[in-house]
Structure 1
């Protein structure tokens, strides 16, 4: 195995956040490091690459700029990324590889490219590269506008293709919840109080990352190069909602900007119709919610719930262990002591467990109104399958596919 693995930093962040400006600044202040740069831009004319070429003064003999257009490195261009990184690493001419991901790219698939062997192409980047840092750049000036827009990438003509139905807010959350360094850029365009509040929210969403405030993309290269920060398992479980669920004796804390979080946990199912009405009048003070829901009409299968801004998603997460055949159920209970400890004598592992993160949340009111969506004692004795279930049929269809 090659002991001198070439380190790699990846810049992610929504369109216009300032990734190219930061990349230019780093390249202009890199203290003689020989850097290969890969720029992924969805447009046919690779504008970002032109900006970097013009602004960074790359040495023709020592450095290389690779342009990857007409695709996203987290999906259609993944094969190209594999081959290009392998080629650059094996050339042995570079000290570092810097990758600027497209503004609509999700960081997890890019990180996986460096973590697992690609059986299809026989390329194992983990033998020749060391993923050093996953960086996410957030536009401090436009964040709340993008977060609350309710728009899809298709609405903004920014989609990777006609079947790309992702919402802007979901992309922002994906980029924030998986990173080692979070750069809050354009801080000079935001008032200090607003900036402090935004950072407070982002730290709740991403408590593990190192935070950096920047103006006009000016970032110390040492903050994102050779940091040694990346760890796939840690990055994968670094989201604030995961940390909240992992903390069994959580003491709710509210900071000076009213930012707080708590776990809503009940061993009782939701009445789908009442829950739908509650969601249609979603409390504006809840910024992010994530967890597992138990719907009375879908008693065998837990539902994965995710909310960010105006985006709300609910879909089958898998069977409750309590709904499995007895031999499978025994296997899980023996294999997972925590599951056995939390096991309810009547309902097994069925539970509503949702993390809520927000600003100036009225926890008592939220819990009280959610409690009203649970089945009443009388309803608990009824035939649950007869309750109205207004959630999209797509959820039921997907559940059938999982069976």
Structure 2
């Protein structure tokens, strides 16, 4: 029924702020004539990642080959969002050579992998590989591990208390689905720390998976593309904390967008964002901000208390909207955060 060969698909997963978008941008800028298409999923109301990728201007991946899905989590909306996106990208004359799917930082990859076993999808697509991008510095700092003393104190107060760690579960599910682990931000660690993190990750995986350290998402496209894993045929070797639990939701996390006025200068803005992030234990802050008197917009990326910023492109015509996406665990004080950022 399908005379054309299957289109390979690479799924790029990884926790909030691990560097997925940066890695994909490097790939599409060095596609080498390979026609790429992208599906970008975001957990938040402001489409930051898709906008960054569209600004590349790469001939091998034009804007009309990039589909943004701002629905919160692609793993929960496969039928409603993923399948129509695939239809849009594969119809017509411009059939891509390869499709890259960037999941949101809170997405579980396994439900998406399962969708490739659906007859209509299987007939046209195959999963070339699942790439898990890891923030090496966050792992080394224990961001995804329980505090043993805190857990012990909770257990002493109430032996029946639920000790589930939602950050750890999402992070581990993303690793357990991987065919390749990209250990990003390796430059932030010492050689000893990097070896420890790399060894711990390798030891935690149920199968032998290559762990590749990198910085700034710089990795050759031929390392990421062409794995030929056919992951849809290999579900049993990709366990999940949520196997057998039915539908998956994100009640453990909250997100909201905050519109702010023009900032006077980048340094004072970043200092304020850093203080707010640390005071409220915010997982992720990202967005575009106007700097007074500057024609270009400021791209802001924050992971915990670590922030980066750069002027990325001129503002489009029309009113300038300075907006930041804030993501944290359930219970973060949205009112206080909005007041501090306003």
Secondary structure class of the residue paired with 1:216:
coil
Aligned position for 1:44: 45
Q: Contact between 1:36 and 1:97, CA under 8 Å: does it hold in 2? A: yes
Kindly state the Cα deviation for residue 114 of structure 1 after the two structures are TM-superposed. Answer: 1.1
Pairing of 1:178-193 with structure 2 (within 5 A): 178-193=177-192
Q: Contact between 2:18 and 2:184, CA under 8 Å: does it hold in 1? A: yes
In structure 2, relative to structure 1, the CA distance for the partners of 1:4 and 1:65 (3 Å cut) is same
Distance 1:25 1:85 in 2: 23
Aligned position for 1:17: 18
| 1:183-206 CA distance string (max 9 Å, x none) | 000111111111111111111112
Matched, 1:132 2:131: no
Uncovered stretches (5+) of structure 1, i.e. residues with no partner = 118-123, 152-164, 243-289, 291-303, 305-403
Kindly state the Cα deviation for residue 213 of structure 1 after the two structures are TM-superposed. Answer: 1.2
Aligned position for 1:215: 215
Secondary structure class of the residue paired with 1:115:
coil
Secondary structure class of the residue paired with 1:131:
strand
Secondary structure class of the residue paired with 2:40:
strand
Aligned position for 2:97: 95
Q: Which of 143, 148, 158 is matched with 2:145 structurally?
A: 148
Distance 1:187 1:12 in 2: 18
Aligned position for 2:174: 175
Distance 1:22 1:148 in 2: 25
In structure 2, relative to structure 1, the CA distance for the partners of 1:128 and 1:16 (3 Å cut) is same
Q: Contact between 1:176 and 1:182, CA under 8 Å: does it hold in 2? A: yes
Distance 1:97 1:62 in 2: 14
| 1:322-359 CA distance string (max 9 Å, x none) | xxxxxxxxxxxxxxxxxxxxxxxxxxxxxxxxxxxxxx
Distance 2:230 2:176 in 1: 14
Kindly state the Cα deviation for residue 62 of structure 1 after the two structures are TM-superposed. Answer: 8.5
RMSD, matched Cα = 2.6
Aligned residues: 223
Instruction: Between the two structures, name the one with larger relative contact order (CA 8 Å, sep ≥ 6).
Output: 2
Secondary structure class of the residue paired with 1:70:
coil
Distance 1:146 1:60 in 2: 34
Query: TM-score, normalized by length of structure 1?
Result: 0.51
Distance 1:187 1:238 in 2: 26
Kindly state the Cα deviation for residue 82 of structure 1 after the two structures are TM-superposed. Answer: 1.3
Distance 2:230 2:208 in 1: 11
Secondary structure class of the residue paired with 2:198:
helix
Query: TM-score, normalized by length of structure 2?
Result: 0.60
Distance 1:52 1:36 in 2: 11
Secondary structure class of the residue paired with 2:134:
strand
Kindly state the Cα deviation for residue 55 of structure 1 after the two structures are TM-superposed. Answer: 3.0
Kindly state the Cα deviation for residue 60 of structure 1 after the two structures are TM-superposed. Answer: 7.5
Secondary structure class of the residue paired with 1:39:
strand
Aligned position for 2:196: 197
In structure 2, relative to structure 1, the CA distance for the partners of 1:189 and 1:183 (3 Å cut) is same
Pairing of 1:216-255 with structure 2 (within 5 A): 216-234=216-234, 236-237=236-237
Distance 1:20 1:61 in 2: 16
In structure 2, relative to structure 1, the CA distance for the partners of 1:204 and 1:78 (3 Å cut) is farther
Kindly state the Cα deviation for residue 86 of structure 1 after the two structures are TM-superposed. Answer: 2.9
Kindly state the Cα deviation for residue 166 of structure 1 after the two structures are TM-superposed. Answer: 6.6
Kindly state the Cα deviation for residue 53 of structure 1 after the two structures are TM-superposed. Answer: 1.2
Q: Contact between 1:178 and 1:236, CA under 8 Å: does it hold in 2? A: no
Aligned position for 1:375: none
Distance 1:237 1:177 in 2: 8
Secondary structure class of the residue paired with 1:141:
helix
Kindly state the Cα deviation for residue 232 of structure 1 after the two structures are TM-superposed. Answer: 3.6
Q: Contact between 1:86 and 1:125, CA under 8 Å: does it hold in 2? A: no
Q: Contact between 2:78 and 2:112, CA under 8 Å: does it hold in 1? A: no
Secondary structure class of the residue paired with 1:55:
coil
Aligned position for 1:70: 71
Matched, 1:114 2:113: no
Secondary structure class of the residue paired with 1:176:
helix
| 1:152-205 CA distance string (max 9 Å, x none) | xxxxxxxxxxxxx97100111101111111100011111111111111111111
Secondary structure class of the residue paired with 1:134:
strand
Uncovered stretches (5+) of structure 2, i.e. residues with no partner = 151-163, 246-342
Q: Contact between 1:12 and 1:175, CA under 8 Å: does it hold in 2? A: yes
Q: Contact between 2:113 and 2:231, CA under 8 Å: does it hold in 1? A: no
